[in-house]
Protein backbone atom coordinates (compact mmCIF):
# COMPACT_ATOMS: atom_id res chain seq x y z
CA UNK A 1 0.00 0.00 0.00
CA UNK A 2 2.26 2.77 -1.32
CA UNK A 3 -0.34 5.41 -2.19
CA UNK A 4 -0.11 8.37 0.21
CA UNK A 5 -3.87 8.91 0.40
CA UNK A 6 -4.42 5.26 1.28
CA UNK A 7 -1.85 5.61 4.04
CA UNK A 8 -3.78 8.61 5.38
CA UNK A 9 -6.95 6.57 5.52
CA UNK A 10 -5.24 3.58 7.12
CA UNK A 11 -3.91 5.85 9.87
CA UNK A 12 -7.51 6.71 10.79
CA UNK A 13 -9.34 3.49 9.89
CA UNK A 14 -7.86 -0.03 9.62
CA UNK A 15 -7.85 -1.13 5.96
CA UNK A 16 -8.38 -4.67 4.67
CA UNK A 17 -8.02 -5.40 0.96
CA UNK A 18 -11.11 -7.21 -0.32
CA UNK A 19 -9.54 -8.97 -3.34
CA UNK A 20 -6.32 -10.89 -3.79
CA UNK A 21 -5.61 -9.30 -7.18
CA UNK A 22 -6.45 -5.87 -8.64
CA UNK A 23 -9.10 -5.55 -11.35
CA UNK A 24 -7.19 -4.65 -14.51
CA UNK A 25 -8.32 -3.49 -17.96
CA UNK A 26 -7.38 -1.16 -20.82
CA UNK A 27 -9.38 1.88 -21.90
CA UNK A 28 -8.56 4.98 -23.98
CA UNK A 29 -5.00 3.73 -24.49
CA UNK A 30 -4.33 3.47 -20.76
CA UNK A 31 -3.73 0.51 -18.44
CA UNK A 32 -5.98 0.55 -15.36
CA UNK A 33 -5.61 -1.34 -12.07
CA UNK A 34 -8.16 -1.02 -9.27
CA UNK A 35 -8.12 -2.34 -5.72
CA UNK A 36 -10.89 -2.14 -3.13
CA UNK A 37 -10.47 -2.02 0.62
CA UNK A 38 -12.78 -2.22 3.59
CA UNK A 39 -12.09 0.57 6.09
CA UNK A 40 -13.29 -0.62 9.48
CA UNK A 41 -15.61 1.98 10.96
CA UNK A 42 -15.90 3.89 7.67
CA UNK A 43 -16.88 1.83 4.62
CA UNK A 44 -15.61 1.05 1.13
CA UNK A 45 -12.39 2.57 -0.23
CA UNK A 46 -11.21 2.00 -3.79
CA UNK A 47 -8.04 3.11 -5.52
CA UNK A 48 -7.81 3.10 -9.33
CA UNK A 49 -4.44 3.86 -10.93
CA UNK A 50 -3.83 4.23 -14.66
CA UNK A 51 -0.86 4.89 -16.91
CA UNK A 52 -0.52 5.57 -20.62
CA UNK A 53 1.56 7.22 -23.32
CA UNK A 54 4.69 5.48 -22.15
CA UNK A 55 4.32 6.85 -18.65
CA UNK A 56 3.66 10.42 -19.77
CA UNK A 57 0.05 10.25 -18.60
CA UNK A 58 -0.86 9.11 -15.09
CA UNK A 59 -4.19 9.09 -13.31
CA UNK A 60 -5.20 8.18 -9.78
CA UNK A 61 -8.79 7.93 -8.58
CA UNK A 62 -9.71 7.45 -4.92
CA UNK A 63 -13.32 6.80 -3.93
CA UNK A 64 -14.44 6.69 -0.32
CA UNK A 65 -17.99 5.36 -0.03
CA UNK A 66 -18.82 5.47 3.69
CA UNK A 67 -21.45 2.91 4.67
CA UNK A 68 -20.77 2.80 8.41
CA UNK A 69 -21.08 6.54 9.10
CA UNK A 70 -23.52 9.04 7.63
CA UNK A 71 -21.08 10.97 5.44
CA UNK A 72 -21.09 11.86 1.73
CA UNK A 73 -19.15 9.94 -0.90
CA UNK A 74 -15.72 11.42 -1.64
CA UNK A 75 -14.21 11.23 -5.13
CA UNK A 76 -10.60 12.30 -5.73
CA UNK A 77 -9.11 12.38 -9.24
CA UNK A 78 -5.49 13.37 -9.86
CA UNK A 79 -4.23 13.51 -13.46
CA UNK A 80 -0.79 14.35 -14.86
CA UNK A 81 -0.50 14.45 -18.65
CA UNK A 82 2.22 16.00 -20.82
CA UNK A 83 3.00 18.73 -18.31
CA UNK A 84 -0.64 19.44 -17.43
CA UNK A 85 -1.78 18.88 -13.84
CA UNK A 86 -5.47 18.33 -13.06
CA UNK A 87 -7.31 17.80 -9.79
CA UNK A 88 -10.93 16.90 -9.02
CA UNK A 89 -12.18 16.83 -5.41
CA UNK A 90 -15.90 16.16 -5.21
CA UNK A 91 -18.40 15.21 -2.51
CA UNK A 92 -21.68 13.56 -3.49
CA UNK A 93 -24.75 13.43 -1.28
CA UNK A 94 -25.22 9.84 -0.20
CA UNK A 95 -26.23 10.73 3.37
CA UNK A 96 -29.39 9.56 5.11
CA UNK A 97 -29.67 12.73 7.21
CA UNK A 98 -28.33 16.27 6.85
CA UNK A 99 -25.64 17.61 9.15
CA UNK A 100 -22.27 16.46 7.80
CA UNK A 101 -19.74 19.14 8.76
CA UNK A 102 -18.15 20.75 5.68
CA UNK A 103 -16.79 24.04 7.09
CA UNK A 104 -13.13 22.96 6.97
CA UNK A 105 -13.58 21.47 3.50
CA UNK A 106 -15.05 24.77 2.28
CA UNK A 107 -12.12 26.65 3.79
CA UNK A 108 -9.66 24.43 1.92
CA UNK A 109 -11.61 24.91 -1.32
CA UNK A 110 -11.30 28.69 -0.93
CA UNK A 111 -7.55 28.39 -0.33
CA UNK A 112 -7.19 26.83 -3.78
CA UNK A 113 -9.00 29.66 -5.60
CA UNK A 114 -5.78 31.07 -7.02
CA UNK A 115 -5.24 27.93 -9.10
CA UNK A 116 -7.14 28.14 -12.42
CA UNK A 117 -10.45 26.27 -12.54
CA UNK A 118 -11.05 23.43 -14.96
CA UNK A 119 -14.48 23.60 -16.59
CA UNK A 120 -16.05 20.17 -15.94
CA UNK A 121 -19.08 20.84 -18.11
CA UNK A 122 -22.65 20.12 -17.09
CA UNK A 123 -23.67 16.64 -15.95
CA UNK A 124 -26.70 14.86 -14.54
CA UNK A 125 -25.03 14.46 -11.11
CA UNK A 126 -24.32 18.18 -10.55
CA UNK A 127 -27.31 18.46 -8.19
CA UNK A 128 -25.87 15.67 -6.03
CA UNK A 129 -22.69 17.58 -5.23
CA UNK A 130 -22.14 18.68 -1.64
CA UNK A 131 -20.42 22.01 -1.06
CA UNK A 132 -17.85 23.53 -3.40
CA UNK A 133 -15.96 21.08 -5.62
CA UNK A 134 -12.27 21.66 -6.21
CA UNK A 135 -11.71 21.21 -9.96
CA UNK A 136 -8.40 22.66 -11.09
CA UNK A 137 -5.96 22.64 -13.99
CA UNK A 138 -2.40 23.90 -13.87
CA UNK A 139 1.12 23.17 -14.95
CA UNK A 140 4.44 22.18 -13.46
CA UNK A 141 4.37 25.25 -11.18
CA UNK A 142 1.21 23.93 -9.49
CA UNK A 143 2.34 20.29 -9.22
CA UNK A 144 3.39 20.40 -5.55
CA UNK A 145 0.17 22.11 -4.49
CA UNK A 146 -1.87 19.68 -6.58
CA UNK A 147 -0.30 16.94 -4.46
CA UNK A 148 -0.81 18.67 -1.11
CA UNK A 149 -4.38 19.90 -1.59
CA UNK A 150 -5.98 16.43 -1.80
CA UNK A 151 -3.99 15.30 1.24
CA UNK A 152 -5.27 18.25 3.29
CA UNK A 153 -8.80 17.79 1.94
CA UNK A 154 -8.81 14.08 2.75
CA UNK A 155 -7.56 14.77 6.27
CA UNK A 156 -10.41 17.24 6.87
CA UNK A 157 -12.91 14.79 5.38
CA UNK A 158 -11.73 11.95 7.64
CA UNK A 159 -11.91 14.21 10.69
CA UNK A 160 -15.50 15.09 9.78
CA UNK A 161 -16.30 11.39 9.30
CA UNK A 162 -15.05 10.73 12.83
CA UNK A 163 -17.74 13.13 14.08
CA UNK A 164 -20.49 11.79 11.80
CA UNK A 165 -23.07 9.48 13.38
CA UNK A 166 -23.08 5.76 12.74
CA UNK A 167 -25.87 4.61 10.43
CA UNK A 168 -27.74 1.62 9.11
CA UNK A 169 -25.34 0.12 6.55
CA UNK A 170 -28.01 -1.45 4.37
CA UNK A 171 -29.93 1.83 4.06
CA UNK A 172 -26.73 3.78 3.47
CA UNK A 173 -25.58 1.38 0.76
CA UNK A 174 -28.92 1.77 -1.01
CA UNK A 175 -28.68 5.56 -0.82
CA UNK A 176 -25.16 5.44 -2.29
CA UNK A 177 -26.50 3.60 -5.32
CA UNK A 178 -28.26 6.79 -6.44
CA UNK A 179 -24.86 8.04 -7.62
CA UNK A 180 -23.11 4.86 -8.76
CA UNK A 181 -26.15 3.37 -10.53
CA UNK A 182 -26.84 6.80 -12.05
CA UNK A 183 -23.42 6.70 -13.69
CA UNK A 184 -24.28 3.35 -15.25
CA UNK A 185 -27.60 4.67 -16.54
CA UNK A 186 -26.71 8.23 -17.55
CA UNK A 187 -22.96 7.93 -18.07
CA UNK A 188 -20.24 10.50 -17.39
CA UNK A 189 -16.81 11.63 -18.66
CA UNK A 190 -14.99 8.86 -16.77
CA UNK A 191 -17.71 6.23 -17.06
CA UNK A 192 -18.23 6.30 -20.83
CA UNK A 193 -14.68 5.18 -21.82
CA UNK A 194 -14.89 2.29 -19.34
CA UNK A 195 -18.24 1.16 -20.77
CA UNK A 196 -16.79 1.38 -24.28
CA UNK A 197 -13.87 -0.84 -23.26
CA UNK A 198 -15.62 -3.36 -21.01
CA UNK A 199 -19.21 -3.32 -22.16
CA UNK A 200 -22.27 -2.43 -20.09
CA UNK A 201 -22.52 -5.64 -18.05
CA UNK A 202 -18.85 -5.86 -17.13
CA UNK A 203 -18.80 -2.16 -16.23
CA UNK A 204 -21.82 -2.60 -13.95
CA UNK A 205 -20.10 -5.54 -12.24
CA UNK A 206 -16.88 -3.53 -11.85
CA UNK A 207 -18.69 -0.47 -10.45
CA UNK A 208 -20.83 -2.42 -7.99
CA UNK A 209 -18.27 -4.88 -6.67
CA UNK A 210 -15.01 -2.95 -6.89
CA UNK A 211 -15.15 0.77 -7.59
CA UNK A 212 -18.08 1.70 -5.33
CA UNK A 213 -18.51 -1.45 -3.24
CA UNK A 214 -22.31 -1.32 -3.27
CA UNK A 215 -22.65 -5.04 -4.07
CA UNK A 216 -20.95 -7.36 -1.59
CA UNK A 217 -23.04 -10.44 -2.41
CA UNK A 218 -20.05 -12.41 -3.70
CA UNK A 219 -17.69 -11.53 -0.87
CA UNK A 220 -16.88 -14.39 1.45
CA UNK A 221 -18.25 -13.95 4.93
CA UNK A 222 -15.49 -14.32 7.50
CA UNK A 223 -15.86 -17.42 9.59
CA UNK A 224 -17.18 -16.36 12.97
CA UNK A 225 -15.55 -18.08 15.91
CA UNK A 226 -15.38 -17.30 19.58
CA UNK A 227 -12.05 -15.59 18.89
CA UNK A 228 -13.44 -13.32 16.13
CA UNK A 229 -14.53 -9.90 17.39
CA UNK A 230 -16.79 -7.55 15.46
CA UNK A 231 -14.56 -4.51 15.82
CA UNK A 232 -16.88 -2.19 13.88
CA UNK A 233 -19.77 -3.00 16.23
CA UNK A 234 -17.79 -2.05 19.32
CA UNK A 235 -16.06 0.90 17.70
CA UNK A 236 -19.42 2.46 16.78
CA UNK A 237 -21.25 1.61 20.02
CA UNK A 238 -21.20 5.09 21.52
CA UNK A 239 -21.82 6.80 18.18
CA UNK A 240 -25.05 4.83 17.88
CA UNK A 241 -25.98 5.54 21.50
CA UNK A 242 -25.48 9.26 20.96
CA UNK A 243 -28.13 9.35 18.24
CA UNK A 244 -30.90 8.85 20.81
CA UNK A 245 -29.13 10.17 23.91
CA UNK A 246 -30.56 13.02 25.96
CA UNK A 247 -27.91 15.74 25.86
CA UNK A 248 -27.31 18.29 28.57
CA UNK A 249 -27.11 21.93 27.50
CA UNK A 250 -23.48 22.57 26.53
CA UNK A 251 -22.66 25.23 29.13
CA UNK A 252 -24.16 23.12 31.92
CA UNK A 253 -22.23 20.03 30.81
CA UNK A 254 -19.00 22.03 30.57
CA UNK A 255 -19.51 23.51 34.05
CA UNK A 256 -20.03 20.02 35.48
CA UNK A 257 -16.87 18.74 33.77
CA UNK A 258 -14.75 21.71 34.87
CA UNK A 259 -15.85 21.21 38.47
CA UNK A 260 -14.80 17.55 38.22
CA UNK A 261 -11.41 18.58 36.81
CA UNK A 262 -10.83 21.18 39.53
CA UNK A 263 -11.72 18.67 42.25
CA UNK A 264 -8.91 16.37 41.16
CA UNK A 265 -5.23 16.78 40.42
CA UNK A 266 -3.97 13.50 38.93
CA UNK A 267 -4.51 12.03 35.48
CA UNK A 268 -3.32 9.20 33.26
CA UNK A 269 -1.57 10.80 30.27
CA UNK A 270 -1.42 8.74 27.06
CA UNK A 271 1.23 9.64 24.47
CA UNK A 272 2.53 7.74 21.49
CA UNK A 273 3.99 7.61 18.01
CA UNK A 274 3.77 4.70 15.56
CA UNK A 275 3.65 1.46 17.54
CA UNK A 276 5.01 3.10 20.71
CA UNK A 277 2.45 3.98 23.41
CA UNK A 278 3.02 5.29 26.92
CA UNK A 279 0.52 5.96 29.72
CA UNK A 280 1.82 8.01 32.62
CA UNK A 281 0.12 8.81 35.96
CA UNK A 282 0.95 12.46 36.56
CA UNK A 283 -0.18 15.51 38.53
CA UNK A 284 -1.83 18.32 36.58
CA UNK A 285 -2.78 21.93 37.14
CA UNK A 286 -5.92 23.26 35.44
CA UNK A 287 -5.59 26.95 34.60
CA UNK A 288 -7.54 29.11 32.14
CA UNK A 289 -9.18 26.08 30.54
CA UNK A 290 -5.93 24.22 29.87
CA UNK A 291 -3.93 21.49 31.61
CA UNK A 292 -0.35 22.05 32.75
CA UNK A 293 1.98 19.25 33.78
CA UNK A 294 5.54 19.48 35.09
CA UNK A 295 7.88 16.61 34.25
CA UNK A 296 11.55 15.91 34.75
CA UNK A 297 11.49 13.48 31.80
CA UNK A 298 10.63 9.93 30.81
CA UNK A 299 9.52 7.90 27.83
CA UNK A 300 6.38 9.98 27.31
CA UNK A 301 8.63 12.48 25.53
CA UNK A 302 9.24 9.90 22.77
CA UNK A 303 5.68 10.46 21.63
CA UNK A 304 5.47 14.13 22.60
CA UNK A 305 8.46 15.00 20.41
CA UNK A 306 6.78 13.99 17.14
CA UNK A 307 3.08 13.64 17.91
CA UNK A 308 1.32 16.45 19.81
CA UNK A 309 -1.99 14.56 19.93
CA UNK A 310 -2.54 13.18 23.41
CA UNK A 311 -5.29 11.86 25.62
CA UNK A 312 -5.64 12.03 29.35
CA UNK A 313 -8.08 10.39 31.74
CA UNK A 314 -9.27 11.52 35.16
CA UNK A 315 -11.35 9.06 37.14
CA UNK A 316 -12.49 7.88 40.56
CA UNK A 317 -12.62 4.50 42.23
CA UNK A 318 -15.36 2.44 40.57
CA UNK A 319 -18.11 1.72 43.08
CA UNK A 320 -20.78 0.10 40.93
CA UNK A 321 -22.82 0.83 37.81
CA UNK A 322 -24.74 3.51 39.73
CA UNK A 323 -21.61 5.22 41.05
CA UNK A 324 -19.16 5.79 38.22
CA UNK A 325 -17.29 9.01 37.35
CA UNK A 326 -14.62 9.38 34.70
CA UNK A 327 -13.41 11.88 32.11
CA UNK A 328 -11.50 11.40 28.86
CA UNK A 329 -9.78 14.42 27.33
CA UNK A 330 -8.56 14.58 23.74
CA UNK A 331 -6.05 17.36 23.34
CA UNK A 332 -2.91 18.80 21.80
CA UNK A 333 0.33 19.11 23.74
CA UNK A 334 2.87 21.92 23.61
CA UNK A 335 6.25 21.69 25.33
CA UNK A 336 7.96 24.57 27.19
CA UNK A 337 11.51 24.76 28.57
CA UNK A 338 12.40 25.49 32.20
CA UNK A 339 12.51 29.13 33.25
CA UNK A 340 10.22 30.45 30.52
CA UNK A 341 7.54 32.98 31.52
CA UNK A 342 4.68 30.49 31.26
CA UNK A 343 6.66 28.09 33.45
CA UNK A 344 6.84 30.79 36.12
CA UNK A 345 3.16 31.76 35.69
CA UNK A 346 1.91 28.24 36.34
CA UNK A 347 4.19 27.92 39.39
CA UNK A 348 2.72 31.13 40.78
CA UNK A 349 -0.80 29.81 40.15
CA UNK A 350 0.10 26.69 42.13
CA UNK A 351 1.52 28.82 44.94
CA UNK A 352 5.06 27.52 44.52
CA UNK A 353 7.86 30.12 44.69
CA UNK A 354 10.01 30.09 41.58
CA UNK A 355 13.15 30.05 43.75
CA UNK A 356 12.14 26.64 45.09
CA UNK A 357 12.03 25.17 41.58
CA UNK A 358 15.14 27.10 40.54
CA UNK A 359 17.07 25.59 43.43
CA UNK A 360 16.33 22.07 42.22
CA UNK A 361 19.26 20.39 40.53
CA UNK A 362 17.08 18.72 37.87
CA UNK A 363 15.59 20.59 34.92
CA UNK A 364 11.83 20.29 34.66
CA UNK A 365 9.83 20.74 31.46
CA UNK A 366 6.32 22.15 31.26
CA UNK A 367 3.67 20.38 29.20
CA UNK A 368 0.57 22.33 28.21
CA UNK A 369 -2.44 20.37 26.96
CA UNK A 370 -5.12 22.30 25.09
CA UNK A 371 -8.39 20.32 25.15
CA UNK A 372 -10.14 19.49 21.88
CA UNK A 373 -12.91 17.42 23.42
CA UNK A 374 -14.21 16.29 26.80
CA UNK A 375 -16.02 12.96 26.99
CA UNK A 376 -17.43 12.28 30.45
CA UNK A 377 -19.13 9.17 31.75
CA UNK A 378 -20.84 10.13 34.98
CA UNK A 379 -23.82 8.54 36.70
CA UNK A 380 -24.62 11.97 38.16
CA UNK A 381 -25.81 12.91 34.65
CA UNK A 382 -28.38 10.11 34.83
CA UNK A 383 -29.59 11.31 38.23
CA UNK A 384 -30.18 14.73 36.64
CA UNK A 385 -32.25 13.16 33.84
CA UNK A 386 -29.63 13.01 31.07
CA UNK A 387 -27.63 10.34 29.28
CA UNK A 388 -24.72 8.92 31.28
CA UNK A 389 -22.22 10.12 28.66
CA UNK A 390 -21.90 13.78 27.73
CA UNK A 391 -19.47 15.24 25.17
CA UNK A 392 -18.21 18.81 24.88
CA UNK A 393 -16.10 19.69 21.85
CA UNK A 394 -14.00 22.78 21.17
329 and 378 inside one domain:
yes
Nearest CA among 370, 357, 380, 151 for reference residue 260: 380
Q: What is the pTM of this model?
A: 0.59
CA–CA separation, 77 and 52 (whole Å):
16
∠ CA 198-202-208, rounded to 5°: 125
Q: Among 10-14, 115-119, 150-154, 209-213, where is mean pLDDT lowest?
A: 10-14
Tell me whether residue 240 is in a domain.
Answer: no
222 pLDDT higher than 70: no
236 vs 64, 127, 139, 166, 195, CA distance in Å?
18, 31, 43, 6, 38
Tell me whether residue 238 is in a domain.
Answer: no
Tell me whether residue 236 is in a domain.
Answer: no
Tell me whether residue 159 is in a domain.
Answer: yes
194 and 109 inside one domain:
yes
Confidence of residue 354 (pLDDT cuts 50, 70, 90): confident
Residue-wise pLDDT tens digits, 35-85: 999 998 999 999 999 998 887 899 999 999 999 999 999 999 999 988 899
Q: What is the pLDDT of residue 240?
A: 73
Q: Among 1-10, 21-30, 105-114, 132-141, where is mean pLDDT lowest?
A: 1-10
Confidence of residue 123 (pLDDT cuts 50, 70, 90): very high
Tell me whether residue 234 is in a domain.
Answer: no
Confidence of residue 218 (pLDDT cuts 50, 70, 90): low
Range 208-213 average pLDDT: 94
Q: What is the pLDDT of residue 343?
A: 94
Q: Among 55-64, 204-213, 223-232, 305-314, where is mean pLDDT lowest?
A: 223-232
Tell me whether residue 262 is in a domain.
Answer: yes
154 and 26 inside one domain:
yes
212 pLDDT higher than 70: yes
Confidence of residue 362 (pLDDT cuts 50, 70, 90): confident
Confidence of residue 220 (pLDDT cuts 50, 70, 90): low
Q: What is the pLDDT of residue 164?
A: 92
Confidence of residue 305 (pLDDT cuts 50, 70, 90): very high
User: For the chain, how many structural domains are there in total?
Assistant: 2
CATH number at residue 157: 3.40.1500.20
Torsion of CA 339, 345, 351, 355, to 10 degrees: 20
353 and 301 inside one domain:
yes
Range 346-350 average pLDDT: 94
262 and 190 inside one domain:
no
334 and 193 inside one domain:
no
42 and 125 inside one domain:
yes
323 and 183 inside one domain:
no
Q: What is the pLDDT of residue 226?
A: 55
Tell me whether residue 225 is in a domain.
Answer: no
197 and 346 inside one domain:
no
179 and 249 inside one domain:
no
Residue-wise pLDDT tens digits, 85-100: 999 999 999 999 989 9
| Structural domain that includes position 79 | 4-211
Confidence of residue 359 (pLDDT cuts 50, 70, 90): confident
Range 208-220 average pLDDT: 80
Q: Among 176-190, 220-234, 278-292, 299-313, where is mean pLDDT lowest?
A: 220-234
128 and 250 inside one domain:
no
Confidence of residue 224 (pLDDT cuts 50, 70, 90): very low
Angle formed by the axes of helices 143-163 and 103-111, to 10°?
170
Tell me whether residue 324 is in a domain.
Answer: yes
Q: What is the pLDDT of residue 232?
A: 72
74 and 184 inside one domain:
yes
CATH number at residue 306: 2.30.110.10
Confidence of residue 361 (pLDDT cuts 50, 70, 90): confident
Range 293-317 average pLDDT: 95
244 pLDDT higher than 80: no
Residue-wise pLDDT tens digits, 146-196: 999 999 999 999 999 999 999 988 899 999 999 999 999 999 999 999 999
Confidence of residue 1 (pLDDT cuts 50, 70, 90): very low
The rounded percent of the chain whose pLDDT value lies above 70 is 96
Q: How does the average pLDDT of the chain come out, rounded?
A: 90
Rounded to the nearest 5°, which phi and psi values hold at 90?
A: -135, 140
Higher per-residue pLDDT: 230 or 40: 40
Amino acid sequence: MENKLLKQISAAYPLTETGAEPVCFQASGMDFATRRYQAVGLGSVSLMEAQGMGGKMNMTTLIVNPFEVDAPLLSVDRISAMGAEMLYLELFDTTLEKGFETAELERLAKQAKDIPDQDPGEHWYDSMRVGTPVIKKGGAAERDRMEQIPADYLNAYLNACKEAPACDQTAKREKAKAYSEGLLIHGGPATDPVKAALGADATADFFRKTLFGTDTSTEEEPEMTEEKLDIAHFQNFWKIQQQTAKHMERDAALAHIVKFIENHNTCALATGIGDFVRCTPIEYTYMDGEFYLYSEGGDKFIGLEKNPNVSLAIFEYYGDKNDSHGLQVMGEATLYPPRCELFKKVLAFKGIPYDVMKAAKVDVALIRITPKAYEMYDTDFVKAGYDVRQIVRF
